[in-house]
Structure 1
Amino acid sequence: MRIGKRAASSLAIAACLFAAAPAAAMTSIVVDVATGKVLSESAASQRWYPASTTKLMTAYVALKALETKAASLDTPVVITRFAAGQAPSKMGFPPGSVMRLDVALRMMLVKSANDVAVAIATALGDGSVEAFVGRMNEAAAALGMRDTHFVNPNGLPGEGQHSSAKDLAILAARIRTEFPAFTDLFGTEAISTGTTTIRNTNPLLGRYDGADGMKTGYICASGFNLVGSATRNGRTLVAVLLGASGPIVRDRIIADLLEAGFRTDPAASQTLVTALPEGGGAPADISREICSAEGQKERAVERQAEAKRPEHNSGSPFLHEMARPPSVVPLALGGAAGTADIPPGATLIAAYGIPIPTARPDPAVPEVPADPQTPLPPGASSDIDRADEASRASAAPVPAPEPAGEGGDVN
C-alpha cells in the first residue's frame, strides 16, 4: 500500500495510540469522506462483530426506501410482539404502538433501540424481518462491503453476523455522501418522549469539535465499538474503532484518531477505502477479555481515573465536557399515515398480534345457538365477548420508555 509521508505520520500516531491502550485487540480506520482516501488504518479488514453499528445499515436501507418512494417519512412503524421481545437497549413500547418512520429512525439511532430496529425492518420488509435483512445484505454487496454479512437489523448476537472497520467506514461514508439531507438523524444529541430525555449513546456529540455522528455498538464478543464522524471547515472524516476495552478508552482513542486525520492531507494518501483487501475468516471474539472479571476491573479503574480529572474528557485533550444542555428533539407515538389495517394517526392498536379465538366444540358446554335472539346456555361465551376481553386487556397505557442503560445493555 503506497502512502505519503504525512499519511505515514498519521499511521504512526495511530500505532502509538494502540500501543498505549489497554485493550487486548482493536481495529480502526479513518477515511476522508469526500475522496474516500484512507488517512490511517490498523487491521481494518479484520472481521469483527458489529454489534449495534449494524443499525447504520438498517438506516441506510430505510433511507434508500425513501429515495425510491417505497416508503415515506410518515410510513407507519408498528412495534410487533417479536420486536417488543428484543433484548435491551430498547424503547420498551408495548406491542401495537405506532410511530412514523422518521421518528422510529431517530429513536433507533439515539437510544440504540433494538425493538424499534426490528419494527422498522418489519414495516419496510412487507411484514418480514428476513426479507429486510436480505436487502441489508444486498446493499452491503452493492457497496463492496466484502467482509460483511447481517442476520438481524439491530446487531444483537447472532451466528453469521460480521463486518469490519473497513466495511463500516465504506457504509458511513456512503450515508454521508448519498443522504446529506439526513445528517441530523445521525447527530441528534438527545430525544424527549414527554417526561423522559434520552441522551445519544455517541460520546463524541457535543464533546469533540465538529462531531456530527454516527453510531456506537457493544456486545461482549465485539468490545466497545464506535463509528464516528466530524466536519471541520467543510471537510468530513469518518473514523471507526472496533474492540476497545471500555467506553472511556474508546472515546479517547477515536478522538485522537480523528484529530490525527484532520492533520493529514488526503493528497498524501493514494489508497481508497474500497481498495483495501478482504479480510475473510471468522470474526474476532474478545468476550473473555471484555466480560471477564479482569475486563470489568479494568473499566472500573478507568472510571475512577475519569472521576478524578478536573474535566471529564476521557484523558484526551481533544474531548471536553459539554458547556451547554444537549439539543433535544421531542418525539411521540402516532402521527403516521393510515393503511388498510392501521387508522391514520393511531398511537396504539389494541390486541395487536393476538389472534381472535375461534369456537371449538366442547362436549361439556352446548354450542352457541345460531339465532342471536336465543339466550346463551349457562357457561357459554361468544367469540365477540372473548375478542372484547382480549382487546380490553391489551389496551393498556403506553409506559414511559426505559431509561438509558449502562453495563449489560447491548447498544
Structure 2
Amino acid sequence: MGFKGAIGVARRVLGRLGAVVAALGAVAVGLGAAHPAQAGYASLVVDGGTGEVLNAVNPDEQNHPASLTKMMTLYLTFEAIHQGRLHWEDELPVSRNAANKEPTKLGLEVGQTVSVKDCVLGMIVISANDGATVVGEALAGGSEQVFARMMTDKAHQLGMTNTVFRNASGLPDREQVTTARDMSRLAMALHRDFPQDYHYFATREFDFEGRHLTGHNRLMYRYPGMDGMKTGFTNASGSNLVSSAVHDGRRLFGVVFGGSSAKTRDKLMETLLDNAFANRDTDPKLVALAAGRPLARVARARGTGRVAHAGRARTVHVAVAPVQRRGHAAAAHQRVASGHAGRHVSAHAASKDRAHAKAVKVAGKAAKGKVAGKTHGHHHKVAAD
C-alpha cells in the first residue's frame, strides 16, 4: 500500500470514528431530553380532613414545580416570623442576584430595601421572583444556595421525599423537582401549621410603590369556596396549580401539573374539585388532554392511599444564619383587597399568558393553548399566569 492509499484508509477510519462519536453524542442528548421531570403531567385531589386521596393521576411522577416553589419559601418565611427571626415590618436588603430575577417581579433595585410583608404579598399575588429571593437570602445569610438546602431539608421533614429545591423562586433548574403528592403535603402543612397566616393565599391584589398589582390565580376569583393557593409556569413544567376550596365545611386540596395553558389547567382543576366534592370519579384521560398529551402513560389511582398528616415538622438543630435586615420600617401602607379584581395591572416586566395553539378538549369543551418560550436550558421564563 502506497502513501496515498494509507492516507485514504486513515481518512475512512477517522470518518467512521466521527460517526460513532456523533451517534454517542446524539444518544447523550436524547438521554438529557428524556429527563424524567421534563413537562410531565399529573393531578391529585386529597381530603384535607382525612388525608384520603380521592383521585390521582401520576401522583408520584417527578415534575418541575415552577413557581409552586414559592409555597416552600413562604412556609419558611411564616416559620421564621413565628419563631421571631423575622417580623412583618422588617426591611430586607435587595441584592444584585435578587434584583436580576426575571420576569415576574416587584421591580426591586439593587441597594434598596423591601418589607417582609411586601415580599410575601408579592410572592402570592404576582409570583414575584425578586421578592422570593430577597427573603430566601435574608434567612440564609445572603446565600440563595444555602436557602435552597434549607428548603429541601424542610421538604423532607414534611414527608416530601421526592422533592429537591435549588432556588427560592422556581426559576428553571433541571434538578429542582417535586411531585403532585409532595405538593399536596406542602399545601396541607401550610394550612395546618400557619392557620393565622393562611388567609394571605386568598389575596387578589395589593398596592406597591404607587402601583396596583393584581393576581394570576383567576380560578380563585370565580370558584366558590376557593381561598388559595398558587400558580406556576415554565416551559419545562407547563402550567401548574395548587388549589384549596371549602364546601359545607369540607376542605379539599388539588394539584395539577403540566397543563398546556392556564385556561386548560384551571378547567381541569375545576372539574377535579367539582367531582371530588360530589364524590364522583374523574376520568384520567382529562388530565392527559389538559396537558395536550397522548393517553398511553396515564397511571390512575383512586382511593388507594392517604397523604399523611405528619404533624408540624419536627425540630432539628441546624445552624441558622442570622437574618439580614435593615432597620424596622413603619407598618406598610398597602391595601389588601379580597373582592374580585376589576382590572389587571401586571407587575414590572411580568409576562402574560402565552398565545394559544394546541387544541385540547377538557370536560367536553374545547380550549386552546400552548406553552411558549425556549425549550431547553436555563432560559425558560416563569409566566405571570
TM-score interval (norm. to shorter): 0.5 to 0.7
Q: Identify the residue that residue 264 of structure 1 maps to in structure 2.
A: 279
Q: Identify the residue that residue 221 of structure 1 maps to in structure 2.
A: 236
* TM-fit CA distance, 1:269: 4.3
Q: CA contact under 8 A between 2:46 and 2:53: conserved in structure 1?
A: yes
- The 5-angstrom pairing of residues 74-113 of structure 1 reads 74-113=89-128
Matched, 1:410 2:371: no
The normalised TM-score by structure 2 is 0.66
CA offset digits 1:336-394 (Å, max 9, x no partner): xxx997344399xxxxxxxxxxxxxxxxxxxxxxxxxxxxxxxxxxxxxxxxxxxxxxx
* TM-fit CA distance, 1:403: 5.8
Counterpart Cα distance in 2 of 1:211 and 1:130: 34
Counterpart Cα distance in 2 of 1:340 and 1:273: 36
Counterpart Cα distance in 1 of 2:129 and 2:256: 21
Matched, 1:345 2:336: no
CA offset digits 1:277-312 (Å, max 9, x no partner): xxxxxxxxxxxxxxxxxxxxxxxxxxxxxxxxxxxx
Q: CA contact under 8 A between 2:45 and 2:254: conserved in structure 1?
A: yes
* TM-fit CA distance, 1:57: 0.4
Counterpart Cα distance in 1 of 2:324 and 2:213: 33
- The 5-angstrom pairing of residues 11-410 of structure 1 reads 26-193=41-208, 195-264=210-279, 269=303, 271-274=305-308, 342-345=326-329, 401-402=347-348, 404-406=350-352, 407=354, 409-410=381-382
Counterpart Cα distance in 1 of 2:112 and 2:166: 25
Q: CA contact under 8 A between 1:77 and 1:104: conserved in structure 2?
A: no
How many residues in Structure 1 have an aligned counterpart in Structure 2? Answer: 272
* Rg larger for: 1
Which letter maps to 2:68? T
Counterpart Cα distance in 1 of 2:347 and 2:303: 46
For the structure 1 residues 196 and 183, does the alpha-carbon distance in structure 2 shift closer, same or farther, using more than 3 Å as the test?
same
For the structure 1 residues 340 and 44, does the alpha-carbon distance in structure 2 shift closer, same or farther, using more than 3 Å as the test?
closer
The normalised TM-score by structure 1 is 0.62
Counterpart Cα distance in 1 of 2:181 and 2:325: 42
Q: CA contact under 8 A between 1:73 and 1:100: conserved in structure 2?
A: yes
Q: CA contact under 8 A between 1:107 and 1:116: conserved in structure 2?
A: yes
Which letter maps to 2:329? G
* TM-fit CA distance, 1:158: 1.1
Counterpart Cα distance in 1 of 2:123 and 2:40: 28
CA offset digits 1:32-54 (Å, max 9, x no partner): 11221111101110000000000
* TM-fit CA distance, 1:234: 2.1
Which letter maps to 1:131? V
For the structure 1 residues 202 and 107, does the alpha-carbon distance in structure 2 shift closer, same or farther, using more than 3 Å as the test?
same
Q: CA contact under 8 A between 2:89 and 2:329: conserved in structure 1?
A: no
Name the SS of the counterpart of 1:402 in structure 2. Answer: coil
Which letter maps to 2:230? K
Q: Structure 2: any 5+ residue segments left out of the alignment? A: 1-38, 281-301, 310-322, 332-345, 355-372, 374-380
Q: CA contact under 8 A between 1:151 and 1:159: conserved in structure 2?
A: no
Q: Identify the residue that residue 377 of structure 1 maps to in structure 2.
A: none
Which letter maps to 1:96? G
Of 213-222 and 123-132, more deviation after overlay is shown by: 123-132
* TM-fit CA distance, 1:65: 1.2
For the structure 1 residues 180 and 216, does the alpha-carbon distance in structure 2 shift closer, same or farther, using more than 3 Å as the test?
same
* TM-fit CA distance, 1:76: 2.2
Structure with the higher strand share, 1 or 2: 2
Q: CA contact under 8 A between 2:42 and 2:61: conserved in structure 1?
A: yes
Counterpart Cα distance in 2 of 1:231 and 1:252: 18
Q: CA contact under 8 A between 1:157 and 1:219: conserved in structure 2?
A: yes
* TM-fit CA distance, 1:138: 0.9
Q: Structure 1: any 5+ residue segments left out of the alignment? A: 1-23, 276-338, 348-399
Q: CA contact under 8 A between 1:198 and 1:404: conserved in structure 2?
A: no
For the structure 1 residues 273 and 95, does the alpha-carbon distance in structure 2 shift closer, same or farther, using more than 3 Å as the test?
same
Q: Identify the residue that residue 370 of structure 2 maps to in structure 1.
A: none
Identity %, equivalent residues: 34
* TM-fit CA distance, 1:88: 0.7
CA offset digits 1:83-104 (Å, max 9, x no partner): 0011211111211222221221
For the structure 1 residues 178 and 49, does the alpha-carbon distance in structure 2 shift closer, same or farther, using more than 3 Å as the test?
same
Counterpart Cα distance in 1 of 2:325 and 2:216: 34
